Amino acid sequence: MAGSPEAAEEAEQGPGLRAGGAARRGKRAAPTAADPQPAKLSRAELYKPPTSEELTQLKETEDLFHSSLLRLQIEELLKEVTLKETKKKKIDAFLHEINGLLGAIPETPETELTDQDWLSKDVKVPFLQVPFNVKGRFHFVPPAELKVVGSYLLGTCIRPEINVDIAVTMPREIFQDKDNLNQRYHRKRALYLSHIAQHLSKEKLFGSVKFAYMNSNHLKPILLLRPQGKDEKMVTVRLHACPDSGLFKPSRFYPSKNNVRTAWFMEQSTPKEGATEPPTPHYNNSILCDTVMLSHLHFLSNAATDFPGMKDGLALLKVWLNQRQLSKGLGSFSGFLVSMLVAYLLMKRKIVKMMSGYQVLRSTLQFLATTDLSVTGISLAKDADPSLPVLDDFHQAFEVVFVDPSGLVNLCADMTASKYHQVQFEAKRSMEILDDRMVDGFQVLLMTPKPMLRTFDHIFHLKHVSKLQGTCKKMQLLNELMDRAGNYVAAALPFVVSLLARGLSQRAQLVAHSLPQIPEWPIDAEPPKHKDVGPLTFGLLFVPEFATSTLEKGPQADHPEALEFRTFWGEKSELRRFQDGSICEAVVWKASTVCQKRLIPEQIIRHLLKLHADIPEYSICYTGALLESVIKTGKEAWGTGEEAMVSVICSYDDLSRKLWNLKELPLTVTAVQGVHPALRYTDVFPPIPVKPIYSFHNRRKHLLLPSEEKPCPAYITPLKIICHMEGSGQWPQDKGAIKRIKAAFHLQLAELLRQQHQLVCRPAVTHTDVYKDGYVFRLQVAYHREPLILKEVVTPEGMLKYQDTEESRQLELETLHLPYLTSSLHGLQQQHPVFGSTSRLAKRWISAQLLSDSISEECVDLLVAFLFLHPAPFTPPSSPQVGFLRFLDLLATFDWKNNPLIVNLNAGLTDSDCAEIKNKFVAARSRLPVMFLATPKDQWSSMWTRERPSAQILQRLVLLASESRRALEEQLMDALSDQDVKMVFRPPLDFYDVLIHLNPNQIPRQLESVDRPVKSASRGVVKNSSATNILFPVVDYDPVQLYLQELRDAFDDLALFFYDKHGGEVIAVLWKPLSFQPQPFKVSSMKGRKVTTLNNELVCVPNVEAILEDFQILGEGLVKSVEARTEKWTI
């Protein structure tokens, strides 16, 4: 940031490296002189009262940290990121050798700046010399002095990347007057480094000698040196060339002064008459940064003396910035900047030297969260020198202002206001997290990475950065280009971001951009061009209430602002009359379905960038909703099923009102509760209203049956509803009798609905099916005491006691827990409109991986609910795609073995409840399910994961999730490739032993498959919701599921069967390894086995050929072929 390295050093240190290294080593040697011996303590000492220091530590832990655990976690993290003493010794020795080599580089004769033939052909000047012609002369003289600057001396550099910065002072004699003009200084600096590079590259000491741009700033090349051999990764030494102090007059570089002449930059022979030169603040700042390196060093080392907490605090802050991808690139919030900020807070007494590292972290985050440096800048300059520029001068020249102690340099010169607002937003969010006792602040803030894809709701890439040249032309940014030495990306970016922020002002709470980063390059290669930063990525964080609004209302037509509104929106703006009678300018975006409304920001962005920035549509790669195609049904215009779900719920509400008001029922209906996933918005493919075509079926009296000649009819899902009847003394107390009474109620309900509401019904013993509005609802009567009666057990002594039985558990699940879960999640959908779609994507993925039978739908719904209720460190998702990415991340990274996943539905748990759940979980871990979910109504039993997933399936799920997330994120971030996101929905089949291929005509849900068939057989239904007097359609008929059930019943001991219930054409089979071990021959256990001899003994082994033949016979008409993939069973 601002080109200055992370600077800090002992102030009293003499010139040269030797003194520095020795001073540091001398200072550190004292405490480790004698190895500590374990002390023998007397009894009195063992039990003596705590010292005042221990008391303060205990008090601090209680006040500051939510738990002593947080303190321990932070101490462990600091141990992990700080540099070890042994490494320091190696680095010091390496620096010592560099020092000797730099002094021995020979001088060169003086030549014109443009005559660079003296340089060897193996080194290219690391500077874009455009325009090439420039006045001035250059010759190389060895450095006047070398100083280690930066975080290495302060002890605040953190692993994994250890950088040591050396300031190489260029002697005064290589400079002339007017070197401050037209990039002359910058070119001399680049030539100086080139000559050093040419000589050092021949040395055996270095593993690599490369160039890089400091913080990706094209004006600031630096030289990177790494040691030879296995230590190459240990350290990177960065050489910064800087001028002798006092070479330039500071007043030449005030933000309002010009140092790049227009005529030179535009390559015109003579300047225009009377034209004033524009100021070049960024250019001036880049030269000033080099002049103040050493003073920054002394300033920071003074702040760090007697302040151990500063070192720890800075390490934590750097980890915090790294996890949020804020600390690298042009205009980043670098480690150096955060060090200066801590020093500023110390100067302003917001931080005192007594504070611990954690307090430094908190105070800094608090300051960032509450201070907007793009509006009110801050300065480290103490005495107000009247000749120095004031903060307002800086605000006119730069977007973000933080002035250094000299009063001349803006440390945030390259930062955009948008990037600072992102830092501010992150700091606010982090303060909320630290104050929330329900969240593990350490894990969330410092250990969880926040890549753009999982942080922002929508992401889009600007594929061809070179298009920003056109933007600079369109927005007339010539002065900015001169100031930034032709870097059109840096010149245009702030304007593009503020344009988008204005267009999305109501909809987005944050519009952020990635930081342009240029990788290092070999010294014999040409320096990277401006376009080599690759695609730029932008992230949008929405305000859920307004993000999908179709109307952009402007000022009234006769107001002066109306013209501005029209200019901003171009031809999209039109006059409209509103209900209150006002006539206003407005923009209306076309979107009919929910999924199209979610993409209105894309329309806005494409329109504004084309209109104001000349960026064509094909240069924008918008990845906000690429995944949603897998949950779209039928024709594209239908959207992603949210509307279908709403109409199901309307029909259900109407039915429940009719049930409440039924006349002539012996007992009234007290509650009607839906339990089907469609009634909580999480059914992957919600039902569509249909009416059967009779010619496709066989008719029997009032019934329709599937026809053998025709393809299997479309799958019609019964929407299950629980009807609770009121209690009464007339209910029997015997479980058999209760079942009969319920059957009578089912008959009666069907009769009354037919009489009073003309609905077509089909009663059965356990339920009644009702055809209404093209949907089929399945009513099931419940009596509140029945689970209790099922729990009754009579002991041999004749005592009556109550204990959970399988039957009572199942009934409680269906009639109590499932309705509660459904209504809670229905409520969650009202708060977070994308909850349903996210859950549907997650279920579609699990089903596509053939695991839908191995994990319950309710379990997936709860996992997704967790992402919305406990989103820290993120904000709750506002698009299904980001929700799905976080779902994969949760599956892949959550520690299922050691932690319960607590889903706090309706905020029903307090922090003490959560602590109790965790403690009980740890105590009883071995007896609990492998995936443990706790909710307010189910704190101890994890009922939705009790039976499944098994440990092996969970392990497989975790592996698939982490691979899918990696593949998907790679694709979504790669703007230039063809993004086929369906890849993660195609399961790897090479893992299985046998594949059973099915006949597509007999798969009723064929249209739900990930890769939909181009043509598919007609399924014997038409869309219709108004039919009343019809024959009852075929309900819940899926031949593949029936076949699967038969396979599992028959071969459960030999194999596992996997299938994608949403239109999969393959059943995958995995043999169980245990069943293939030879068993001793017994007549009783010969099912599916054959007899063979092994070591002269009769044994049974599975008869695989016969079993495969059975697969074919069992599925006659449904099975196309059985493919044996492996030879695992040849014993």
Task: List, for residues 736-762, the tens digit of each pLDDT value.
Answer: 999 999 999 999 999 999 999 999 899
* Nearest partner of 937 among 919, 917, 922, 911, judged by Cα: 917
Whether 35 shows a pLDDT value over 50: the answer reads no
pLDDT score for 1017: 64
pLDDT score for 648: 93
* Nearest partner of 864 among 674, 707, 681, 659, judged by Cα: 681
Task: List, for residues 612-661, the tens digit of each pLDDT value.
Answer: 998 999 999 998 888 888 888 765 456 788 888 999 999 999 999 999 99
Task: List, for residues 62-114, the tens digit of each pLDDT value.
Answer: 555 555 677 788 888 888 878 788 888 888 888 888 888 888 888 888 888 88
Task: List, for residues 861-871, the tens digit of each pLDDT value.
Answer: 999 999 999 99
User: What DSSP character marks residue 726?
Assistant: P
pLDDT band, very low/low/confident/very high, at 46 (cuts 50, 70, 90): low
Each residue of 393-411: b (16+ CB within 10 Å) or e?
A: bbbebbbbbbbbbbbbbbb
By the 8 A CB rule, do 877 and 457 touch? yes
Residue 154, helix vs strand vs coil: helix
Task: List, for residues 824-866, the tens digit of each pLDDT value.
Answer: 999 999 999 999 999 999 999 999 999 999 999 999 999 999 9
pTM: 0.90
pLDDT score for 11: 34
Task: List, for residues 508-558, the tens digit of each pLDDT value.
Answer: 999 999 988 888 999 888 899 888 888 999 999 999 889 889 998 889 888
pLDDT score for 21: 38
By the 8 A CB rule, do 891 and 933 touch? no
What rounded mean pLDDT belongs to the chain?
86
pLDDT score for 14: 35
Report the alpha-carbon angle 258-260-264, nearest 5: 140
Each residue of 883-901: b (16+ CB within 10 Å) or e?
A: bbbbbbbbbbebebeeebb
Name the region of 1088 (left: φ>0; alpha: ψ -120 to 50; beta: rest): left
Comparing 20-29, 928-937, 1090-1099, which segment has the lowest mean pLDDT? 20-29
Whether 15 shows a pLDDT value over 70: the answer reads no
User: What DSSP character marks residue 1125?
Assistant: -
Report the alpha-carbon angle 221-226-231, nearest 5: 160
CA distances from 39 to 34, 55, 246, 683, 904 (A): 14, 22, 57, 66, 49
Give DSSP secondary structure letters for 361-373.
Answer: HHHHHHHHHH--T
pLDDT band, very low/low/confident/very high, at 897 (cuts 50, 70, 90): very high
pLDDT score for 61: 63
CA distances from 334 to 263, 314, 649 (A): 35, 11, 52
What residues pair up with 594 in beta bridges, in sequence order?
none
What residues pair up with 238 in beta bridges, in sequence order?
165, 224
Greater confidence, 63 or 965? 965
CA distances from 342 to 1, 305, 394, 401 (A): 16, 13, 21, 16
Mean pLDDT of 577-590: 90
d(CA 1018, CA 711): 7
d(CA 1, CA 213): 11
d(CA 694, CA 691): 9
What residues pair up with 556 in beta bridges, in sequence order?
584
d(CA 1100, CA 737): 48
Give DSSP secondary structure letters for 892-958.
Answer: HHS-TTT--EE--GGG---HHHHHHHHHHHHHTGGGS-SS-EEBTTBSSS-GGGSS-S-HHHHHHHH
By the 8 A CB rule, do 834 and 545 touch? no
pLDDT score for 1111: 92
Task: List, for residues 461-489, the tens digit of each pLDDT value.
Answer: 999 888 888 888 889 888 898 888 888 99
By the 8 A CB rule, do 123 and 524 touch? yes
Comparing 112-121, 772-781, 933-942, 1033-1042, which segment has the lowest mean pLDDT? 112-121
Whether 769 shows a pLDDT value over 90: the answer reads yes
Comparing 11-20, 214-223, 774-783, 813-822, which segment has the lowest mean pLDDT? 11-20
Task: List, for residues 918-941, the tens digit of each pLDDT value.
Answer: 999 999 999 999 999 999 999 988
pLDDT score for 2: 41
CA distances from 573 to 504, 509, 566, 822, 1013 (A): 15, 23, 6, 44, 42
Whether 1126 shows a pLDDT value over 90: the answer reads no
Q: Scan for tokens 């019809």, then name that residue.
A: 1030
* Nearest partner of 395 among 411, 375, 379, judged by Cα: 375
Task: List, for residues 388-441, the tens digit of each pLDDT value.
Answer: 888 888 999 999 999 999 888 999 999 999 999 999 999 999 999 988 888 888
Whether 1089 shows a pLDDT value over 80: the answer reads no
Is the link from the previous residue into 38 a cis peptide, with omega within 30 of 0? no
* Nearest partner of 514 among 323, 319, 320, 325, judged by Cα: 325
By the 8 A CB rule, do 895 and 929 touch? no
